[in-house]
Structure 1
């Protein structure tokens, strides 16, 4: 593995408004020629947002949010007509968890975030009813919702996950079968609630999923968000977390394993907008086979209103064969110097020869040694999920993926 690069926040801030740089000092103003009135977006939070698909131009692939995506393969999801009707789900029952369909007038819809790109806006404009998962009760609980075989026609979906104040739960979203899906998931974490949301993508080989998760976290509340992408032809899951309450905390984990011809993408955004908030982002992936492609973009914004922030993000990719590509782009914006710490790291590389040599010197064959290295690399993420049955099943799924590395 290559060495990780890190970035550390400044430790002091200007003492007066006069010390702050102006837009003109950095050339951030309208140009006198070209596109009159155009000023480039200078911060992640300033991106254009709208709930209406008509407010977004057609996707060309040159946009910042689409430039690393195979946009020609899902034009039906970014601009076509989508089926927004309800679909079949299978949910494990629990007395303190309500799972029901609600209409578009539900007061919670639109409170966690808004679309920043056309596919999300198309889904928002198209869904007819939303799936609402409402968690209550202070005792820890676990619920699994399974979607299978949504079909090959373009579809929109909208989901609300609300953890009421002081509640605790693990919510697992299991996805299998066929799909051509654009969806938005809103996650609302109330004061002092502790919520884990795990989304597992084990779609069929030709499935396409474009998902945007919007989360808002209240005072002294905690969200653990885990993305596991193993199946599907094109899977793009973009979590956006707003640390809105003082003392709010989030941990975002991701695990992905891309095979030949598979495109797995995740664009992560953490917005520190309250004092004494904390975030940790850790995504790990493996790639094998010709044309396997992964994309990870991590944006962290520490706003002026977030003194005492503690933040770190990292992405690691393990390349198992030739002909793969992993894009890893960490970004960190800091608007206040009054923080505990902030940094980021990114690394992409092949097997560590020293690790392989160590294992082989103790009588372990090369193929098994390689499998042990990859298993240990990815197991760190699995162990953070907090559901033993799911963790065991995912370890088996990783073993199935690793059988394809033999002989490479």
Structure 2
């Protein structure tokens, strides 16, 4: 028997499960984390327990169809891309040991950690200079093999720029996207998912905002079989401002998911979260979860999040879950809203009474609902193309209804979780 006093022995500490922590009465079971910021993070996938589909961050995802990306082998080699850039914007492959890797935070789920541990190089986008700059990075040549990716977007101090990440073609991809916005920088990042019908894409976007930094972030998800783009924003220094937006259109059998997290961690920070989506076709599914944490170190915070979903046919499902956590009473404002519903009869009746055919009236209402987000991007060429893509989605839906013999769209008052809110 060892003579070493028990007080000097190093106790065995069991790893904390992602999304849970041990009870204080002996650690015999698990309870959910009490604060959003307490979730376990790691770049090592073996540090996470096996994903069962019951975890808080996986319970609304089709885990059985994602297993190969969550814990399977991944090809992490560099891939081909096309870049169109202006002065002040540059892109290059760098080592995984680069100083910016992990600057925006570590992965929160096993799939993101799997990607982080398998990539061989990181695609670094650097934005500098006093004049506004832009860069578009297109990926369309990925194949259907399971692949890992890692991109870092770095806006240096006082720069002003827009970055467009354009995704199309086949894909079986899990990736991390880190966004580092230095002091006084103004950055717009637009992630466009127009994948082929069978593509699967899991992405974790993590942003860190410095003092007086401004980030406008857009997620546009139109194509793909399963697309899950989770965005987190850490307002780490005073005066940081995050404007997080999303627009999505789910067709039959399509699963589009986004989990958004805003961490107010410094004084006088501001955030706005605005996601809008539409669903049509049997089995169309969308998931939106919004978490906002206003910490004890964030007096003067101004925050608001909302999600709106427009249901265009039977057989669809939209999950919308806003969450707000406030740890200080010294705030300017905080709120959240969520609404999911169908066409308002009055809107369509108004248009039809002025001679507009029913199908055209339907198109006008949906396009106006979704284009409000697109028109805020700030790139006219991209905005026009995305609005055209939305119109194509609506046209395809109209043709599908005609072939099925549908004579009228589904209509009913929407169900609103926030009285007085409107779509």
TM-score by length of 1: 0.91
Q: Contact 1:166 / 1:193 at 8 angstroms: preserved in 2?
A: yes
Quick one: distance in 2 between partners of 1:357 and 1:251? 35
SS in 2 for 1:327: strand
Moved more, 237-246 or 137-146: 137-146
Between the aligned partners of 2:31 and 2:349, the Cα distance in structure 1 is 54
* 1:73 to 2:65 alignment: yes
CA contact (8 A) 1:31 1:37 kept: no
Q: Specify the alignment match of 2:23 in structure 1.
A: 30
Report whether the alignment pairs 1:351 with 2:351: no
**Matched-pair contact (CA < 8 Å) for 2:127–2:133:** no
The equivalent of 1:120 in structure 2 is 112
Q: Which residue of 2 is the match for residue 187 of structure 1?
A: 179
Post-superposition CA distance 1:132-171 (Å, at most 9, x none): 0000011112211000131100000000000000000010
Are the counterparts in 2 of residues 320 and 405 from structure 1 also a CA contact under 8 Å?
A: no
- Greater RCO (CA < 8 Å, at least 6 residues apart): 1
The answer for the alignment partner of 2:375 in structure 1 is 383
The reply on whether 1:403 has 2:392 as its aligned counterpart is no
- 1:34-89: per-residue Cα shift (whole Å, max 9, x none)? x5264431010000111101101221101110000001002110011100010001
Partner Cα distance (1:32, 1:185) in 2 = 39
- Does the 8 Å contact 2:85/2:134 carry over to 1? no
C-alpha distance in 1, partners of 2:23/2:167? Answer: 46
Picking from 305, 308, 325, the partner of 2:297 is 305
Q: How does 1:97-136 map to 2 (within 5 A)?
A: 97-136=89-128
1:94 to 2:73 alignment: no
Partner of 1:198: 190
**2: CA distance, partners of 1:299 / 1:93:** 34
Distance 1:31 1:163, change over 3 A: closer
Q: Distance in 2 between matches of 1:128 and 1:31?
A: 41
Match of 1:11 in 2: none
Gaps of 5+ in 1: 1-27
1:271-302 superposed Cα distances (whole Å, 9 cap, x missing partner): 00010000000000000000000000000000
1:373 correspondence with 2:365: yes
CA deviations 1:350-377 (Å, max 9, x no partner) are: 0011110110111111110000000100
Structure 2 residue 147 is the aligned partner of structure 1 residue 155: yes
Contact 1:31 1:38 in 2 (8 A): no
Further displaced range: 240-249 or 136-145? 136-145
Say whether the 8 Å CA contact 1:133–1:160 is kept in structure 2. Answer: yes
Partner of 1:239: 231
Stretches (4+) displaced over 6 A = none
The answer to whether the Cα contact below 8 Å between 2:87 and 2:133 also exists between their aligned partners in 1 is no
**Structure-2 residue corresponding to 1:40:** 32
TM-score (norm 2): 0.88
2:85 aligned counterpart, secondary structure = coil
Secondary structure of the residue aligned to 2:222 is strand
Match of 2:157 in 1: 165
Distance 1:231 1:159 in 2: 21
Cα distance between partner residues in 2 of 1:358 and 1:40: 49
1:383 and 1:97 map into 2 onto residues whose CA distance is 24
Give, in whole Å, the separation in 1 of the partners of 2:22 and 2:78: 47
CA contact (8 A) 2:149 2:175 kept: yes
2: CA distance, partners of 1:380 / 1:161: 26
What are the Cα deviations for residues 82-129 of structure 1, in whole angstroms up to 9, with x where unaligned?
000100010013221110000111000001011111000000010000
Following the alignment from structure 1 to structure 2, what is the Cα–Cα distance between the partners of residues 284 and 85?
Answer: 35
1:179-203 residue CA offsets vs partner (Å, 9 max, x unmatched): 1000000000000000000000000
